[in-house]
Structure 1
Amino acid sequence: MKKNRLQKIMLTSLSVMLIGASAGLGTGKPVSANPDIQTSTKDTLKVLYWNADDFNRTYGDQFSKNYPDTDIEVFAPTGTGSITDYNSAIQKYSPDLVMLPPYHYKQLSKEKKLTDLEPLIKRDEYDTTTVYPGMLDELKELGGGKLYGLSPKAESYALLYNADLFEKYNVKAPSDGMTWEEILKLAGEFPATGDKNSRIWGLSSFGSSNLVMDIARTEGLTYVDPNTLKATANTAAWKNAYRLSVEATKSGVLDERISLSGKSYLESSPFIMGRSAMIVASISQLQSLQSAKSNVKDYKPFTLGMAAGPADSKDQKSTGFVFGSEILAIPAGASNVNAAWDFIKYFNGEEYAKEYYKPNTSNNSIGAPLSRMIEKYSGYKLDAFYKLKPDFDSSISSYALMNKSPDLELDFRSMLSEELTKAASGKQTVDEAAAAIQTQIQAAADKAAKAQKAKK
């Protein structure tokens, strides 16, 4: 179940494709998103996407309401439910619009296979100041200095904290751009004793191995070089991540996200219930805090503080702790550039952002600000979520590794859990754990390389 869940998450976050209707899913044939309306009198936008039903739920239905004179055709190639060769798919289907994960956006930009958006932005006087500014900078960097796409969604995170607990225990409140090491040092200033079902915790986290992965993503660390398949899990940066997580586990500052028997998710969350000082979370946590006010009996709200972070220790104005899955772009030579550009503008603009963040939304997958025009959500300001510049290097490496072997990350997480548990219990040192992890993941990478060679 764990394997299936991770593969599902990875496939979803790595997919790139386009618009349409479910009848054409897996056939490679276009299908109108509005089959009851004659397409001969309408403009047509051809989109490459991995799943027509998913596209319509996420994009197509909403776009059709606002652009009824544009028909959408989805091209969903047969296969595994993801697109791994965009060059071939674009050549075969000639789409006007593609939705790319960072890996393929970077590759296609480098190969000059995408349309530069800057002339369109200038022509329409499109206000890019409303878009997540750090995202624009990162997309330009990945595009070799040119802007080939815009991303309406990126699951960015912020450091949320219980300001009342910081005041009660006389601990200095978090500030923007704090690193994981600084965050964990703050967490250590809170009491670490008492019954686990009622005590105060410094930080909400899922434990050592997951904390290591969070630190690694923030810092842009890769455990295996995706180009050479050589393990890189025993570097000074990795050993520092292991040390930080092991020390946090030993000190008892992590709540381990314990589920309380007979309690709901909201009641089981120490942070939501005011018993954890900090949590690194997406915007959906704000929704949960609001939900607790009306769904948890005798709930006691607390003063919520937010700071931009965690930040990369090498550049505290940026973070790799961000997830981007769909960058909207127009293939070079597309036949309907204007319709594709209308689509991109709409899903990166104020109108859609307000729809996405509308009050009492049932959208449980809310992860990031779509537009700076949306200043608040669930009554909370969102600026902390887009102050840091996102860095997609870690996402790009993870995607490349998944294409080499879908099992490598699962293997690595399993190794982390086993070896760091030994280190936290005193059965081995952090250096010994690092060496063991390096040896094991190299063996797994060698196996993946051998399997890949056998396929050729």
Structure 2
Amino acid sequence: MWKKSSVVSFVFVSLTAVIVGCSGGDTGKQQTAPSPEPEKAMVSIDQLENKSPITLKIWTGANEILWKNTIEDPIKKKFPNITLERVPLQQNTLEKLIAAGNPPDIIHGSKNHMILQVMPTKMQFDHTELIKKYNYDLGRLAPELLQSIKAFGDKGQMYGFPNTRVLYGLLYNKQLFDRFAVPYPKDGMTWDEAIQLAKRMTRNENGVQYLGMELPFYSIIPSQLNLEVIDRNDKASLSKWSRGAAVSKQIYDIPGNQGPLFGNLAQSYDPFYKQTLAMLPSSLDTMFGAAKNYPDLQWDLVTMPTLPEAPNTDPYMNYSFFAVTPMTPHKEEAFKVIAHLLSDEVQTQMVRKGYPTVLKNTDIQKQFAAEVPELQGKNLQAPFKNKQSDPFVSKYFDSSVDLLAKNAFIKIMKGQGDINTNLREVDEAIDKKVAELKK
């Protein structure tokens, strides 16, 4: 996920000094009250009290272009005395930075980084007091993202602020649908309807095998039911995934529709770029980023297909977040940097460049990708129509557990054993792996 225009000001609070009136008692002489002290207003959230040069280290997954355009430049313009130092998270774990005595001042990571790196190293910081001090309006944020952030704390602590989010949708190739005289997909489809379209689009023509639809991730459909891999009691929970697994298998069971299974995004997108794949339900940042490289590809998107028991629900919520660290000596400055990056002004700039906003302001949301020429004319509001699920992610959900789950789904897709048996067996394997990780 690495990768407004009326500006709404932040609401902030001012502290006023108390004016004390004095009386000299019963002396018979009139007493003159001292002049009131001048009001002392607290420095607002969009002002820095310290004007001295400050360097803030940000641990981030943003590449250099994203860093410059969406983080460094906005802060340099707003707070010229602050220098931001980029600390790439790809080469630096929090554990190593802490051990070296060089912890960051701000964390910019994904939801999974909070679970797998921030909290295990006790680098989470509750921003509640700073939020109260500056009367920061949390109501500006999308409520589902705010709820997800608060769920990290056992008492609803605010351990960070969402910055941008992953969007989902069903990509489709307009040329293929036109060639085979099949109606385009539409917003609001169920998986049953999408699978029927996939059946009509799957065919072999002139020696070329065309696939109707492919799933890039094994968890896309089950996650729409808000199902976790490992539950809050550290027990594997894939036995509950039989419904999602059965629907996923229907796609792979379409005769001639046997594409690569859950390899990586590049493998899934390759046939779409080569115009042999008609539909691809996926996160959308890859297509948005690659669109300029495929000017002849006539594609569009609709909402992600959904299940009747979870209407209007997309796959698992994912987002990047900013957070002040407990070890920084510049907590207020770091907080104000984050607040500015979440301002209507900066979020609008990001949105227009194709980075989805985390604000609930629909006027800003409607400007999504307005400055991205290759995305003009696309159904860009479709990804905002559904809510996203937010299944619990365990700190034990590492790459080895992910591989166990993926391999179980590959067996299911290929018909190697029945669904319930495969899911029960992988639960046993994951429980064993979790026990090893706990040691």
Give the structure-1-normalised TM-score: 0.62
2:170 counterpart residue number: 159
Counterpart for residue 202 of structure 2: 192
How many angstroms apart in 1 are the aligned matches of 2:197 and 2:157?
40
Using the TM superposition, give the Cα deviation of residue 249 of structure 1 relative to its aligned residue in structure 2, in angstroms.
Answer: 1.3
Q: 1:308 aligns with which of 303, 307, 320?
A: 303
Q: 1:157-200 deviations in whole A, cap 9, x for unaligned?
A: 12233567667745474324x55455334433x24332496455
Counterparts in 2 of 1:50 and 1:268: CA distance versus 1, 3 Å: closer
Does residue 244 of structure 2 align to residue 241 of structure 1? yes
Residues 1:51 and 1:249: Cα distance change in structure 2 (over 3 Å): closer
Equivalent AA in structure 1 for residue 246 of structure 2: R
| 1:150 positional shift | 2.1
Provide the C-alpha distance between the structure 1 equivalents of 2:192 and 2:95, rounded to a whole number of angstroms.
37
CA contact (8 A) 2:58 2:104 kept: yes
Are 1:445 and 2:437 matched, yes or no? no
Q: 1:45 to 1:280 in 2, by over 3 A?
A: same
Q: Aligned equivalents of 1:191 and 1:140: distance in 2?
A: 43
1:400 Cα shift? 3.5
Q: Is the 8 A contact 1:319 1:389 kept in 2?
A: yes
Alignment match of 2:314 (pick from 310, 319, 326): 319
State whether residues 161 and 323 of structure 2, in contact with CA within 8 Å, keep that contact through their aligned partners in structure 1.
Answer: yes
Partner of 1:202: 212
2:81 aligned residue: 69
Number of aligned residue pairs: 369
Match of 2:401 in 1: 408
**Is 1:99 equivalent to 2:99 in the alignment?**
no
Query: Is the partner of 1:194 in helix, strand or coil?
Result: strand
Q: Give the number of the structure whose alpha-carbon radius of gyration is greater.
A: 2
Report the counterpart of residue 368 of structure 2 in structure 1.
375
Aligned to 2:54: 44
What is the distance in 2 between the residues matched to 1:134 and 1:313?
Answer: 21
8 Å CA contact 1:282–1:367 kept in 2: the answer is no
Post-superposition Cα deviations, 1:388-435, rounded to whole Å, max 9, x if no partner, equal 3333325x23x4322xxx4121233223323532x1xxx64x34xx31
Deviation at 1:62, TM superposition (A): 3.4
SS of aligned partner of 1:316 = coil
SS in 1 for 2:383: helix
What's the CA shift string for 1:249-305, capped at 9, x where partnerless? 1213746269xxxxx999953467386145434133134344322xxxxx3635x2x
The answer to whether the 8 Å contact 2:209/2:256 transfers is no
Instruction: Name the one with the larger helix percent.
Output: 1
- State the partner residue of 1:6: none
Contact 1:270 1:276 survives alignment (8 Å): yes
CA separation of 1:268 and 1:255: change in aligned 2, threshold 3 A: farther
Q: Give the conservation status (yes or no) of the 8 Å contact 2:56–2:82.
A: no
2:390 to 392, 397, 407: 392
Residue pair 2:75, 2:340 contacting (<8 A) in 1 also: no
Call closer, same or farther: CA 1:151–1:85 in 2, change over 3 Å: farther
The 1-side partners of 2:421 and 2:138 are apart by 52
Cα deviations by residue, 1:6-26 (Å, 9 ceiling, x for unpaired):
xxx9xx99xxxxxxxxxxxxx
Equivalent pair of 1:133/1:386 in contact (CA under 8 Å): no
Question: CA, structure 1 residues 419+266, in 2 after alignment: closer, same or farther (shift >3 Å)?
Answer: closer
Equivalent residue of 1:400, what SS? coil
- 1:165–1:277: 8 Å Cα contact kept in structure 2? no
Question: Does the Cα contact within 8 Å between 2:168 and 2:282 map onto a contact in 1?
Answer: yes
Conserved 8 A contact 1:204-1:278: yes
Give 3-state SS (helix, strand or coil) of 2:224's partner.
helix
Matched with 2:43 is none
Contact 1:266-1:288 within 8 A present in 2 as well: no
Query: In structure 2, what is the Cα distance between the partners aligned to 1:132 and 1:245?
Result: 30
1:322 CA drift (Å): 3.5
Whether 1:418 aligns to 2:408 is no
1:56 shift after superposition: 9.4
Instruction: Read off the aligned partner of 1:247 and give its amino acid letter.
Output: Q
**Residues 180, 310 of structure 1: 8 Å contact kept:** yes
Q: Distance in 2 between matches of 1:271 and 1:174?
A: 21
The 1:121–1:323 alpha-carbon spacing in structure 2 relative to 1, beyond 3 Å, is: same
CA gap of 1:101–1:309, structure 2 versus 1, over 3 A, is same
Is 1:115 matched up with 2:111? Answer: no
Q: Structure 1 unaligned segments of length 5 or more: list them.
A: 1-8, 14-39, 259-263, 294-298, 360-365
Alignment partners' CA distance in 1, 2:366 and 2:308: 30
Amino acid at match of 2:293: S
Q: Which runs of 5+ in 2 are unaligned?
A: 4-49, 359-363
Residues 142, 313 of structure 1: alpha-carbon distance in 2 compared, 3 angstrom cutoff: farther
Within 5 Å, which residues of 2 pair with 1:214-225?
Answer: 214-225=220-231
TM-score by length of 2: 0.64
Instruction: Tell me the CA shift for residue 350 of structure 1.
Output: 5.3
